[in-house]
């Protein structure tokens, strides 16, 4: 997949992304907004292991955000199983130096459109943490609806 947007490109992962991945992912502020599976500190070995898994997936659902030839973050969906096979959870992260520049505001709607076209999905949801209001706001801008109490 390669989706060229105004400020960036969404593309497949490559093994040569390991150094850039480790550099942007090894950030405590990035890590605080992600699930426990995302290691901290994030080493080059973590990057290589992730890329080994990501590049051998049968169905590519995790992609790289590229700005000016530099890999700076990731976006993907986790498609449910069995009766949840038409539902997917959206996940994303971006290197801190790119926060506040409208990158994810551009990336998320394009990726969601791609996901609905590529996969037999009826629903895509996301679960931003309460300590990450910026992610919640980006999702609102992408027409995600808040569910549950605030």
Span 65-124, pLDDT tens digits: 999 888 899 999 999 999 999 999 999 999 999 999 999 999 999 999 999 999 999 999
- Paired with 73 in beta bridges are 65, 94
**Counting Cβ atoms within 10 Å, is residue 136 exposed (0-12), middle (13-18) or buried (19+)?**
middle
Q: What percent of the chain has pLDDT over 70?
A: 98
Mean pLDDT of 116-140: 95
CA-angle at 98, arms to 32 and 146, nearest 5°: 55
Arithmetic mean of pLDDT, 128-148: 92
**Domain boundaries in the chain?**
2-141
3-state secondary structure at position 19: helix
Reported pTM: 0.93
3.40.50.300, 3.40.630.30, 3.90.110.10, 2.60.40.10: CATH of 2-141: 3.40.630.30
Contact 63, 10 (CB under 8 A): yes
User: Using the 8-state DSSP alphabet, how is residue 101 labeled?
Assistant: S
Q: What is the pLDDT of residue 144?
A: 96
For the cut 90, the answer to whether the pLDDT of residue 145 exceeds it is yes
Binned at pLDDT 50, 70 and 90, residue 150 comes out as low
pLDDT, residue 82, reads: 97
Round to whole Å and give the CA distance between 25 and 20: 8
Mean pLDDT on 125-137:
93
Residue 135, pLDDT score: 95
Determine the Cα–Cα distance for residues 111 and 10; give it in Å rounded to an integer. Answer: 8
The tokens for 34 are 């992600």
């Amino acid at each position: 997949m390669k989706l060229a947007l105004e400020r960036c490109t969404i593309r497949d992962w490559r093994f040569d992304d390991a150094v850039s991945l480790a550099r942007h992912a090894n950030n405590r502020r990035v890590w605080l907004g992600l699930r426990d599976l995302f290691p901290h500190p994030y080493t080059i070995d973590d990057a290589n292991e992730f890329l080994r898994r990501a590049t051998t997936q049968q169905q590519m659902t995790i992609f790289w955000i590229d700005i000016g030839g530099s890999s700076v973050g990731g976006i993907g969906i986790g498609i449910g199983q069995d009766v949840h096979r038409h539902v997917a959870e959206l996940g994303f992260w971006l290197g801190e130096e790119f926060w506040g520049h409208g990158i994810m505001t551009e990336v998320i709607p394009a990726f969601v459109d791609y996901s609905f076209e590529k996969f037999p999905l009826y629903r895509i949801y996301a679960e931003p943490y309460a300590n990450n209001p910026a992610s919640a706001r980006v999702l609102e801008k992408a027409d995600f609806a808040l569910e549950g109490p605030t």
